[in-house]
Structure 1
Amino acid sequence: MDLFNYSRRETSEVNIGATPMGGSNPIRIQSMTNTATQDTEACAAQAKQIVDAGGEYVRLTAQGIKEAENLMNINAALRQDGYMVPLVADIHFNPKVADVAAQYVEKVRINPGNYVDAARTFKHLEYTDEEYAQELQKIRDRFVPFLNICKENYTAIRIGVNHGSLSDRIMSRYGDTPEGMVESCMEFLRICVEENFTDVVISIKASNTVVMVKTVRLLAAVMEKEGMHFPLHLGVTEAGDGEDGRIKSALGIGALLSDGLGDTIRVSLSEAPEAEIPVARKLVDYIMQHQNHPYIPGVEAEDFNYLSPSRRETAAVRNIGGEHLPVVIAERMDGKFETNPQFTPDYIYAGRALPEVREQGVEYILDADVWQGEVGTYPAFNYEQLPLMGSCQADLKFLFMPYMAQTEEVIACLKHHPEVVIVSQSNHPNRLGEHRALVHQLMKEGLKNPVVFFQHYMENEAEDLQIKSAADMGALIFDGLCDGIFLFNQGSLSHAVVDATAFGILQAGRVRTSKTEFISCPGCGRTLFDLQSTIARVKAATSHLKGLKIGIMGCIVNGPGEMADADYGYVGAGRGKVSLYKKKECIEKNIPEEEAVEKLIELIKANGDYTENNL
């Protein structure tokens, strides 16, 4: 693939009702109902809301045979009112349910982690090669009859791998790794190919954006190697709600879309299903602006590993680069300093004049031609001011530079000035490609200057800034190229919103933590409590606990698996009942819902991870 110039991955077309996916079709948008699947009226009403918002597929959970059979009534209710949207059944644990659902919907999603393998228990299992082959034969024996039903009914399938529900069999042989997630998928895909079943879509999801991006990249490479071109469904599971859910989804999904991967997306928000659609639409539309852009003559550095990147080696300049966390630079050229103390920038670009009152603990950046060498301030040069740089004695200098200005003169200057931090700029339609090209050129020249990415916007809505900036930064963070971020917004948004977005992007990319991380699912027909109000209560009680990860899951499907990535977990266990986890260990079962948040706080306190909120 070309790291610098956008082109969409070529895939086969999959027939899903009257809305095909892949091939030359547009990237499709979808969501999932959270109503009980036996409630025909409620499911049909919510499906209509999703379609009216712009959704092109609607997924419903089917826990058992009764729910699967009622998909026929839901389908009929929608068709009767002129809604021809393809329906997708979501199946876990019971392959018989998939057999039934395939007769009534346009697509069935199965989870390789629990289709034939037993539910995950985190036990290590030992298999000889012969025993392992026997387990694969069990999958084939059960899966092929299902494929035959799908063939008879013209039903497509999605092989949907979730990081949170890998089987003990896969975990025991491959560990909790991207390779294990990919193999879990490929076991089923190879059977589809052998059986000449081509209406297949694939997804590999995780709440950890790093795992999700790395695994989908690897899956695409493995499929290419084996001559497969199936379309991809993208999503970040348990992304959460509000700005966190939008930033995390745009970061992970956007990074892959920017590289041409993905044929349908679902933005999983812990909100009303129809609220997911406009977010997904904005993300896809923004990435599609990369199409047919002017050519970027970037050259990939030889030691860069796209499938398993590590952080680029840089020489630290004060607290930027080296082993330091990525910094946040913000602008305050209006002289105003308004921010949340939790999201105080490391550096403030003040332009040509310092504010009358300076914020304690913050360093300032001034244009080089007005910089006076005051303590706590540093000069900013543009690439046309290189002659001034040699006479400047500052131990930290910022050089604002676009990729195409990286001339032999500039490179020679940088080799003599390791104290320079480069601020990469781009006005290109595919700014990601130019930012990447600049850093790869530095790598090819053996330069170790840190790089901060300057991202310029003119947004008036917080959601728009969150989606666009996260999508632009995703691949740069996952590639290991980011030593800092500088969001510059000339719209009407407050400085506080812009700062929080910058810190949110770094946290979503798992490179800098500034607040509590909430891993919460979007809810579905399996959810047995009011997810949105529960999330609000948990956040109110714990959002000041910087550095903790707290999972809030509607049911057991991904619960324990995602709990392994969280410090504490709150998982629906039955109607009005909740179980509490510390990592992947269940500490207390079947707590009444009305007591569960208080019990969660007690659990956090008992483990010494709770501090009072003094704000």
Structure 2
Amino acid sequence: METKGLLEKIRYCNSLTEYSRRKTIPVKVGDVIIGGDNPIVVQSMTTVDTMDTLGSVEQCIRMIESGCQLIRITAPSIKEAENLKNIKEELRKKGYNTPLVADIHFTPNAAEIAAKIVEKVRINPGNYADKKKFEVIEYTDQSYQEELERIRERFLPLVKICKEYGTAMRIGTNHGSLSDRIMSRYGDTPLGMVESALEFLRICEDENYHDIVISMKSSNTQVMVQAYRLLVQKLEEGGFKPYPLHLGVTEAGDGEDGRIKSAVGIGTLLEDGLGDTVRVSLTEDPEFEAPVAKTLVDRYLDRSGHSHIDEIEHIPVTPFEYNKRDSIEVFNFGGTNVPRVIADISAISQITEKEMKNIGHFYLPELDKWKMNDQGADYVFSGNNPIPFMLPNGMKEIQNFKIWLKSEDQVNKFPAFTLDELISSEKHHYGLNFLILSDVEVKRAIPYIEGRKDLVIILYSENSHNMAALRRAFFTLMENHSLIPVVVKVAYPKQDNDKTMLYSATDVGGLLVDGLGEGMMISLDAYKNESREIILNQIKLHNSVSFGVLQAARTRMSKTEYISCPSCGRTLFDLQETTAMIRKRTDHLKGVKIGIMGCIVNGPGEMADADFGYVGSGKGKITLYKGKEVVKKSVPSSKAVDELIEIIKKDGMWIDPE
């Protein structure tokens, strides 16, 4: 579907083709300035009990030394809000001037105390003046307006204190904790998230208070990206000031999954110049968050001056909702198929059956059989190094065209052409051919690919503004009504594994959340001259990352998804240990989503679309959920994992591990 003229109506970023930071008003938070012409600020949140002054101070120092420029501390009640003064004083005595942010849920009185002590307060519009009961309420325009007046009365004292004390504020909407009132009128939507924040923002602007940062966080990367874009659009349309944005994906999880999921959401927005401060939410100690956030934001320090990308006259996608690009089905690419993973093994010669375990396929020599796990690659690209043994059923090999021409099996192996080879060759596979195509070649390729039903494009770009260049190439195909499936190929120099995770999650994930891409491939080119061991490790990493990106973008669920909060001073149990324990028992449940929340603040709402939930409800007590429905309350933590598994079994979603 081509949306003609839509470009003129889209104002969520300066440009879709030329990197440019969105210009915002500067917001002063102590000695740190968010927005304006200032660098993107990295922040994180403590996990120690706020009443533990010494423990909080020591953790703050570890966070600062890891690169944290703002520190958020929970203040769930008045006593914690008051103790922020002691934490701040101790930090200042030790020579640390890093600004502090009070995190507030449900307790306006704590917010009003904290605003006189720290440099910034974060409030959640979904629970600042509302109690969430998951009720559907019918409102007339008059009754809705009366609700807004009630919110104004509750919120106004905080605004006045912040204005008097020079305290900044973050209006932080969370997808999972929208109020019943917002849900009743707007539903569980990005528009509901945006309107939730704008209700509070209007009150601030009426009081001429503008030291505000806004966030639109969700554990669903598609929703998160859409909500931030829509927020910027609505700010522009409504004549609001261009407030800075705090970027984050809630409950991203831990390890590789948490990093990839964060990058899909945060990186997609950074690519279009959105974002002024970033927090990566990992279920790990907070000092591990800032380096990940810094790796994400530092990528844009030298992004300006990238190679030219043709301007876009018409945008053939709607950036505020998910719609998968239409494509024909070629073998098992495109159409209604999930995106495919192509594992690049071309840098290694004479790969063995045993080494195929690096891409999820396991050869059992005693049985002469193959076994595949949930991350078994769909295709392998062998390039100029054909595989010397029979592949397992269901897995296929792609060879460079000149190698394929010499192959004895031109049916079960598939050729990969350059554009010139495709144009000049009369020989091709009867049903599936791959065209390795650069973004700058797409226009030239159009006449030669038009109408073909036996072709899959492997699309890449050498532009440093990679995601935007690839997106432009997709738009060119769509403008020319091409329905050919496209696999996105990305390539990076030799670098830390974290960078490969974060960069590919940004470059490919940013396309997938807009419905672009029928597959993914990470190139091995940079490792061709490395040792066999290093190459095999990279093959394993690339395969795992590819499946992780597809899952984080919500386009292919290949493993259990854990929506786990990053812990804070409100947490009622050891989140890292509990998450690891639940993962150990359930990580074979492909596609099942399990929310693991430290307290009721991050409870049924924050779990958003989890199938099952494990939520701290008191010391040593757990509440278990099916969706947003409480199934069991006050379960002793020693029995809670077993009880959770029983609930999964009763719901018919359990399978025994092999």
Indicate the TM-score class for this superposition, using the shorter chain for normalisation: over 0.9
Cα distance in 1 for partners of 2:423, 2:539 equals 34
Cα distance in 2 for partners of 1:501, 1:393 equals 30
Cα distance in 2 for partners of 1:600, 1:30 equals 34
Cα distance in 2 for partners of 1:385, 1:283 equals 38
Alignment of 1:420 onto 2:455: yes
Map 1:200-349 to 2 at 5 A. Answer: 200-227=212-239, 228-333=241-346, 334=348, 335-336=350-351, 337-339=356-358, 340=360, 341-349=373-381
Distance 1:311 1:61, change over 3 A: same
Three-state SS of the structure 2 residue aligned to 1:254 is helix
User: Deviations for 1:467-519, whole angstroms, at most 9, x for unmatched residues?
Assistant: 11101112201111111101113343332221011000000000001100010
Alignment of 1:395 onto 2:431: yes
Alignment of 1:375 onto 2:437: no
Q: Which moved more, 1:515-524 or 1:340-349?
A: 340-349
Q: Which residue of structure 1 lines up, in the alignment, with residue 632 of structure 2?
A: 588
Q: Which residue of structure 2 lines up, in the alignment, with residue 352 of structure 1?
A: 384
Q: Which residue of structure 2 lines up, in the alignment, with residue 444 of structure 1?
A: 479
Task: Give the counterpart letter for 2:506 in structure 1.
Answer: A
Contact 1:301 1:443 in 2 (8 A): no
Structure 1 spans left out of the alignment, 5+ residues: none
Cα distance in 2 for partners of 1:302, 1:159 equals 31
Matched residue count: 612
Alignment of 1:560 onto 2:596: no
Q: CA deviation at 1:447?
A: 1.2
Q: Which residue of structure 2 lines up, in the alignment, with residue 606 of structure 1?
A: 650
Distance 1:300 1:496, change over 3 A: farther
Distance 1:16 1:302, change over 3 A: closer
Q: Which residue of structure 1 lines up, in the alignment, with residue 514 of structure 2?
A: 479
Cα distance in 2 for partners of 1:109, 1:89 equals 6
Three-state SS of the structure 2 residue aligned to 1:423 is strand
Cα distance in 2 for partners of 1:192, 1:563 equals 29
Three-state SS of the structure 2 residue aligned to 1:406 is helix
Distance 1:122 1:67, change over 3 A: same
TM-score by length of 1: 0.97
Q: Which residue of structure 1 lines up, in the alignment, with residue 498 of structure 2?
A: 463
Q: Which residue of structure 1 lines up, in the alignment, with residue 159 of structure 2?
A: 147
Q: Which residue of structure 2 lines up, in the alignment, with residue 505 of structure 1?
A: 549
Contact 1:300 1:437 in 2 (8 A): no
Three-state SS of the structure 2 residue aligned to 1:29 is strand
Cα distance in 2 for partners of 1:297, 1:467 equals 26
Map 1:86-97 to 2 at 5 A. Answer: 86-97=99-110
Distance 1:146 1:302, change over 3 A: closer
Contact 2:438 2:460 in 1 (8 A): yes
Q: CA deviation at 1:164?
A: 1.5
Q: Which moved more, 1:196-205 or 1:457-466?
A: 457-466
Distance 1:494 1:145, change over 3 A: same
Contact 1:95 1:115 in 2 (8 A): yes
Cα distance in 2 for partners of 1:539, 1:19 equals 39
Q: CA deviation at 1:446?
A: 1.2
Cα distance in 1 for partners of 2:188, 2:557 equals 23
Cα distance in 1 for partners of 2:608, 2:41 equals 31
Cα distance in 2 for partners of 1:345, 1:148 equals 57
Task: Give the counterpart letter for 1:222 in structure 2.
Answer: K
Alignment of 1:98 onto 2:111: yes
Alignment of 1:53 onto 2:53: no
Contact 1:338 1:495 in 2 (8 A): no
Three-state SS of the structure 2 residue aligned to 1:561 is coil
Contact 2:384 2:400 in 1 (8 A): yes
Alignment of 1:188 onto 2:183: no
Q: CA deviation at 1:300?
A: 4.7
Contact 2:443 2:476 in 1 (8 A): no
Alignment of 1:431 onto 2:466: yes
Task: Give the counterpart letter for 1:479 in structure 2.
Answer: D
Three-state SS of the structure 1 residue aligned to 2:34 is coil
Three-state SS of the structure 2 residue aligned to 1:172 is helix
**Residue among 9, 15, 18 paired with 1:5:** 18
Distance 1:20 1:527, change over 3 A: same
Task: Give the counterpart letter for 1:281 in structure 2.
Answer: K
User: Deviations for 1:260-280, whole angstroms, at most 9, x for unmatched residues?
Assistant: 110000000000000001111
Percentage of identical aligned residues: 48
Q: Which moved more, 1:384-393 or 1:22-31?
A: 384-393
User: Deviations for 1:414-473, whole angstroms, at most 9, x for unmatched residues?
Assistant: 114232211111111111121111111111111111111110123453322111110111
Cα distance in 2 for partners of 1:358, 1:332 equals 16
Alignment of 1:384 onto 2:420: yes
Task: Give the counterpart letter for 2:582 in structure 1.
Answer: V
Q: CA deviation at 1:406?
A: 2.5
Q: Which residue of structure 2 lines up, in the alignment, with residue 133 of structure 1?
A: 145
Task: Give the counterpart letter for 1:358 in structure 2.
Answer: M
How well do the aligned residues superpose, as a CA RMSD in angstroms? Answer: 1.4
Q: CA deviation at 1:39?
A: 1.1
Contact 2:252 2:563 in 1 (8 A): yes
Cα distance in 2 for partners of 1:200, 1:191 equals 12
Three-state SS of the structure 1 residue aligned to 2:357 is coil
User: Deviations for 1:257-305, whole angstroms, at most 9, x for unmatched residues?
Assistant: 1111100000000000000011111111124342231221142544322
Contact 1:4 1:296 in 2 (8 A): yes
Contact 2:222 2:322 in 1 (8 A): no
Task: Give the counterpart letter for 2:298 in structure 1.
Answer: D
Cα distance in 1 for partners of 2:419, 2:80 equals 64
Distance 1:390 1:137, change over 3 A: farther
Task: Give the counterpart letter for 1:338 in structure 2.
Answer: K
Distance 1:267 1:543, change over 3 A: same
Task: Give the counterpart letter for 1:269 in structure 2.
Answer: L
Distance 1:298 1:418, change over 3 A: farther
Cα distance in 1 for partners of 2:606, 2:38 equals 33
User: Deviations for 1:556-607, whole angstroms, at most 9, x for unmatched residues?
Assistant: 1131013441111000001111110000011001111111111111211222
Task: Give the counterpart letter for 1:327 in structure 2.
Answer: R
Map 1:481-496 to 2 at 5 A. Answer: 481-489=516-524, 490-491=526-527, 492=534, 493-496=537-540
Cα distance in 2 for partners of 1:8, 1:418 equals 41
Contact 2:175 2:608 in 1 (8 A): no
Q: Which residue of structure 2 lines up, in the alignment, with residue 170 of structure 1?
A: 182
Cα distance in 2 for partners of 1:564, 1:370 equals 49
Cα distance in 1 for partners of 2:443, 2:71 equals 51
Three-state SS of the structure 1 residue aligned to 2:299 is helix
Q: CA deviation at 1:309?
A: 4.2
Q: CA deviation at 1:393?
A: 4.1
Q: CA deviation at 1:183?
A: 0.4
Q: CA deviation at 1:374?
A: 2.5
Q: CA deviation at 1:201?
A: 0.3
Cα distance in 2 for partners of 1:248, 1:28 equals 20
Alignment of 1:73 onto 2:106: no
Structure 2 spans left out of the alignment, 5+ residues: 1-12, 361-372, 528-533
User: Deviations for 1:218-273, whole angstroms, at most 9, x for unmatched residues?
Assistant: 11110111222000000000000000000000111000111111000000000000
